[in-house]
Amino acid sequence: MSDPLLDIRNLTIEYPTPAGRFVAVDDVSFDIGAGERFGLVGESGSGKSTTILALMRMLRGGVVSKGQMLLNGRDLAQVPDASYRRLRFAEMSLVSQGAMSSLNPVLRIGRQINDIFEDHGVIHPPKDRVSIIEDLLQRVGLPAAVRHRFPHELSGGMKQRVCIAMSIALKPSVILADEPTSALDVMVQKQVLATLGRVQKELGAAVILIGHDMALMAHFVSKLGVMYRGKLVEMGPVKEVFANPQHDYTKMLINSLPTFERRTRAAAADRRSS
């Protein structure tokens, strides 16, 4: 069998607190293959965001105290900070909860997309620059003219689509999506997630999708991990986790879905796994 694309081994992350060290991620291991969709669910504070912020080397205050993160067999701990800047977007990109936090309010969208290319030394011939940006916007379902807009002129769903466009600009092999639709209306959530799924497939990128919503996970991912108090307490093909949940927290998450939805989602998980 080929090596996994991303291999997380015994990852442990601690935050220093006035009361001592707080273990937010406790001995977590999982791997994902190229193009795979992995979902990470768990209650608030269970360590999901901390896990992917560590992957991006964007932890605020936290330290990786144990374990390894391997991307294509390369130990990410050995990558110097300067190279990590290049790795972000180019190899791994993050779509976070609030598009507002990642978009610059005073720059037009086109300029912000162009900056990603420039920051990474990707220089397109001037005659192609506009069409490359417009093409990216259209791939995520936005009109090309959005490149002229400022973030505040766009709806929440449009802003999140812009973030998805930015996340795929440099064709990374992994997209980390931290509750990318949680701030949106239910209908918009579905459309934006469908867009993420479509571009991820076109690109052949793997995705780690973080969330609380089992229904949404059953629809989107093929493999599911459940975090509880910093530990990965359950992991497997989404169909198996739904059919035979082992941990009480997983059972609770599944039982909290309405019966009709439970059946529909189990069927959706079935289709995804087969």
Ligand X SMILES: Nc1ncnc2c1ncn2[C@@H]1O[C@H](COP(=O)(O)OP(=O)(O)OP(=O)(O)O)[C@@H](O)[C@H]1O
Give the binding site for ligand X (CB under 6 A).
15, 17, 22, 24, 42, 44-50, 60-61
- The alpha-carbon radius of gyration of the chain (Å, integer) is 19
Please report how close the Cβ of residue 215 comes to ligand X at its closest, in angstroms.
Answer: 16
DSSP per-residue string spanning 95-156: E-S-HHHHS-TTS-HHHHHHHHHHHTT----HHHHHHHHHHHHHHTT--GGGGG--GGGS-H
Please report how close the Cβ of residue 270 comes to ligand X at its closest, in angstroms.
Answer: 27
Please report how close the Cβ of residue 259 comes to ligand X at its closest, in angstroms.
Answer: 26
User: Which residue number, 155 or 256, has a Cβ lying nearer to ligand X?
Assistant: 256
Q: What angle, rounded to 10 degrees, do the helices at 109-119 and 156-168 form? A: 20
In angstroms, the CA 48 to CA 179 distance is 10
User: Which residue number, 39 or 47, has a Cβ lying nearer to ligand X?
Assistant: 47
User: Which residue number, 44 or 101, has a Cβ lying nearer to ligand X?
Assistant: 44
In angstroms, the CA 29 to CA 6 distance is 11
Please report how close the Cβ of residue 96 comes to ligand X at its closest, in angstroms.
Answer: 10
Q: 272 is written with which tokens?
A: 């995804």
User: Which residue number, 17 or 101, has a Cβ lying nearer to ligand X?
Assistant: 17
User: Which residue number, 57 or 86, has a Cβ lying nearer to ligand X?
Assistant: 57
Please report how close the Cβ of residue 232 comes to ligand X at its closest, in angstroms.
Answer: 12
Could you tell me the sign of the dihedral formed by the alpha carbons of 247, 249, 254, 258, in that order?
positive
The closest alpha carbon to 6, from 49, 38, 53, belongs to: 38
User: Which residue number, 60 or 127, has a Cβ lying nearer to ligand X?
Assistant: 60
Please report how close the Cβ of residue 131 comes to ligand X at its closest, in angstroms.
Answer: 38
Q: What are phi and psi of 98, to 5 degrees?
A: -105, 110
Q: Provide the Cα torsion 190, 33, 35, 119; round to 10°.
A: 100
Q: Please tell me what DSSP assigns to residue 76.
A: G
Please report how close the Cβ of residue 217 comes to ligand X at its closest, in angstroms.
Answer: 13
Please report how close the Cβ of residue 207 comes to ligand X at its closest, in angstroms.
Answer: 16
Q: 21 is written with which tokens?
A: 């060290």
Q: 151 is written with which tokens?
A: 């973030």
User: Which residue number, 21 or 263, has a Cβ lying nearer to ligand X?
Assistant: 21
User: Which residue number, 86 or 212, has a Cβ lying nearer to ligand X?
Assistant: 212
